[in-house]
Chains A and B, each alone.
Chain A
């Protein structure tokens, strides 16, 4: 297979197919040789993917739920922190900068441990359990969501700030000249336009969030990673099960990629060349960029 044909298939699709093939081949066919070697039991892999147990389904739901709520908290905090950072009133700037400094400057794992175990053990703050309609949210899950969200807010702040700064100052002036207050100017004029700039990196952040939830295993939350980790400990099939676990994450992030490009197209309203804003999901899957580059290079020779 020449490099050109490889590129023509599309790098991303090739990667995906390649990985799947590799995992499938290894899991279904081989087994280690020799006495006392690891015996691969493919059904652990296939079952957890094709007929996932309720435990796994719950874990996926939990991972998704935590990610969505934590990201939402992150966006809201990010907007406030960004505006705090840009405020004329100095104390706002100090608070915003301090918050961003702390949460970007320390590892999330340390934040989780300190703010959950640390505070609980020292009885500084006891995380409550919250009943939310039919769902009973355990203290560790609440803590997990909040800490992930607060951590995310510190990163979102910079993204939101860049988005706000990308909006033409003339827009604010026009809004002001029409008698809009700061709040109206922000919510009706500036943030909707900043959203266009914010959404692509926000999509990245959410992709990260989906995977970062795995750190919640530190709080013994049965999200995707912890669940598979436990399953593999019980069955002693870490090869098959962590492989399957990876596939589940890949599925979530891939699906999110489709949703993201759909959202990006929706928000491109009123921009020059709305239709070309962000590649469509089909283009993404086909890895169009590399195809184009390849086509160009072929045309050049």
Chain B
């Protein structure tokens, strides 16, 4: 299988790096979440600056996936505040800022437009072709004209190396191809932030490379990204910071060098010794 040609100017397709309104794109403060009686996030705080790539690692069940799902309010939180682009996500404050009330569905939807998300299982829309998947939200959510959305969509497809597949349905594509289209679909909304929830975990080994290649290119071009992943090579190569989570808390964070060569916490050492 030939390596797909990933363009070196991915963000060119959407008119360059989307400019968020603040320097701190993500500001999560003491986020708490329970699933019933299970306390899955315990005072998790994380700041992500503009153009930063943060990779979250940790054993399964550590809450890392739940945490990034909270960032676009796919999960409710029971305590703390999450700001993306300076906007409080999912809630509005009432009673003088002491209580959080879930925001209106429309407002939440508007906030999500700025946050792209890539899922472990791709979640492409099976009744739409690759191109239709990409232009769906720009046309129906953003109100972009059909022609413009199609042009952007084709440019994105070309840049993730799938120009020839625009009329294919997801079930006619490999996992790696589907995931690249899912990335293009998220990018088409010109998000200020991209969330990746274990984007290569459901892929056959030979397809992981092509997806990571797209993600690396995005990071290099300055997209602000949070990636939950077990791909340590990817973390080492493009992450600005690596965050280790375990049992619902942030155990340790630092540059990839610090984290991989000289972790300070025992739990990080134990985890890395198993995975590296």
Which listed residue, A181, A182, A270, touches B126 by the CB 8 Å rule? A270
| A283: Cβ under 8 A from any B Cβ | no
Q: How many A-B residue pairs have CB under 8 A?
A: 73
Please tell me which stretch of A108-116, A137-145, A169-177, A252-260 contacts chain B, meaning at least 4 of its Cβ atoms lie within 8 angstroms of it.
A169-177
With contacts A177-B72, A181-B105 known, is A188 near B140, CB below 8 A? Answer: yes
Query: How far in angstroms is the closest Cβ of chain A from B115?
Result: 7
Assembled-state Cα–Cα distance A178/B189 (Å): 7
Which listed residue, A171, A188, A270, A271, touches B123 by the CB 8 Å rule? A171
Q: Which of B94-146 contact A (CB under 8 A)?
A: 105-106, 109-113, 115-117, 119, 121, 123-128, 136-137, 140-142
Per-residue contact bits, chain A 273-298, to B (CB 8 Å; 1 contact, 0 not): 00000000000000000000000000
B126, A271: Cβ atoms under 8 Å?
yes
A176, B109: Cβ atoms under 8 Å?
yes
Q: Which residues of B contact A272 (CB under 8 A)?
A: 171
A179, B141: Cβ atoms under 8 Å?
yes
A269, B141: Cβ atoms under 8 Å?
no
B136, A188: Cβ atoms under 8 Å?
yes
With contacts A174-B119, A176-B74, A188-B136 known, is A181 near B125, CB below 8 A? Answer: no
B119, A269: Cβ atoms under 8 Å?
no
A270, B110: Cβ atoms under 8 Å?
no
B112, A177: Cβ atoms under 8 Å?
yes
B127, A178: Cβ atoms under 8 Å?
no
Query: How far in angstroms is the closest Cβ of chain B from A183?
Result: 9
| B185: Cβ under 8 A from any A Cβ | yes
Assembled-state Cα–Cα distance A107/B105 (Å): 40
| A189: Cβ under 8 A from any B Cβ | yes
Assembled-state Cα–Cα distance A26/B121 (Å): 63
Assembled-state Cα–Cα distance A175/B126 (Å): 12
| B169: Cβ under 8 A from any A Cβ | yes
Query: How far in angstroms is the closest Cβ of chain A from B38?
Result: 20
Q: Which residues of A contact B119 (CB under 8 A)?
A: 170, 173-174, 177
Count chain B residues whose beta carbon lies closer than 8 angstroms to a beta carbon of A.
32
Closest Cβ neighbor of A182 among chain B residues: B105
Assembled-state Cα–Cα distance A180/B128 (Å): 16
Q: Which residues of A contact B126 (CB under 8 A)?
A: 193, 270-271
Per-residue contact bits, chain B 69-108, to A (CB 8 Å; 1 contact, 0 not): 0001010000000000000000000000000000001100
Q: Looking at chain A, what size class is its interface with the partner chain? A: 20 to 34
B125, A174: Cβ atoms under 8 Å?
yes
Assembled-state Cα–Cα distance A174/B186 (Å): 9
A179, B110: Cβ atoms under 8 Å?
yes
Closest Cβ neighbor of A184 among chain B residues: B140
Dominant SS at the A interface? helix
**In the complex, which of the residues A174, A175, A177, A184 has the most CB atoms of chain B within 10 Å of its own CB atom?**
A177
| B170: Cβ under 8 A from any A Cβ | yes
Which listed residue, A171, A179, A269, A270, touches B112 by the CB 8 Å rule? A179
B113, A174: Cβ atoms under 8 Å?
no
Which listed residue, B106, B111, B121, B186, touches A178 by the CB 8 Å rule? B186
| A192: Cβ under 8 A from any B Cβ | yes
B123, A168: Cβ atoms under 8 Å?
yes
B121, A170: Cβ atoms under 8 Å?
yes
B109, A192: Cβ atoms under 8 Å?
no
Assembled-state Cα–Cα distance A184/B113 (Å): 14
Which listed residue, A170, A178, A192, A271, touches B185 by the CB 8 Å rule? A178
Closest Cβ neighbor of B133 among chain A residues: A174
Q: Which residues of A contact B140 (CB under 8 A)?
A: 180, 184, 188
Query: How far in angstroms is the closest Cβ of chain A from B68?
Result: 11
Closest Cβ neighbor of B139 among chain A residues: A188
Q: Which residues of B contact A171 (CB under 8 A)?
A: 123, 125
Which listed residue, A179, A184, A189, A271, touches B125 by the CB 8 Å rule? A189
Per-residue contact bits, chain A 175-215, to B (CB 8 Å; 1 contact, 0 not): 11111111010001100110000000000000000000000
B74, A173: Cβ atoms under 8 Å?
yes
Assembled-state Cα–Cα distance A189/B133 (Å): 10
Which listed residue, A179, A180, A193, A271, touches B171 by the CB 8 Å rule? A271
Closest Cβ neighbor of B185 among chain A residues: A178
Query: How far in angstroms is the closest Cβ of chain B from A265?
Result: 14
Which listed residue, B74, B109, B115, B123, touches A180 by the CB 8 Å rule? B109
A178, B136: Cβ atoms under 8 Å?
yes
10 further A-B pairs in the complex, CB-CB below 8 A; given A170-B121, A174-B182, A179-B142: A173-B119, A175-B125, A176-B109, A177-B115, A177-B186, A179-B112, A181-B106, A188-B140, A193-B126, A270-B171
Which B residues are closer than 8 A to A by beta carbons?
Answer: 72, 74, 105-106, 109-113, 115-117, 119, 121, 123-128, 136-137, 140-142, 169-171, 182, 185-186, 189
The list of the 8 closest CB pairs from A to B, nearest first, reads: A179-B113, A174-B123, A178-B137, A177-B117, A170-B123, A270-B169, A179-B112, A179-B141
Listed A/B pairs (15) with beta-carbon separation below 8 Å: A168-B123, A170-B119, A173-B119, A176-B74, A176-B109, A177-B117, A178-B112, A179-B110, A179-B137, A179-B141, A180-B109, A184-B141, A189-B125, A193-B126, A270-B128
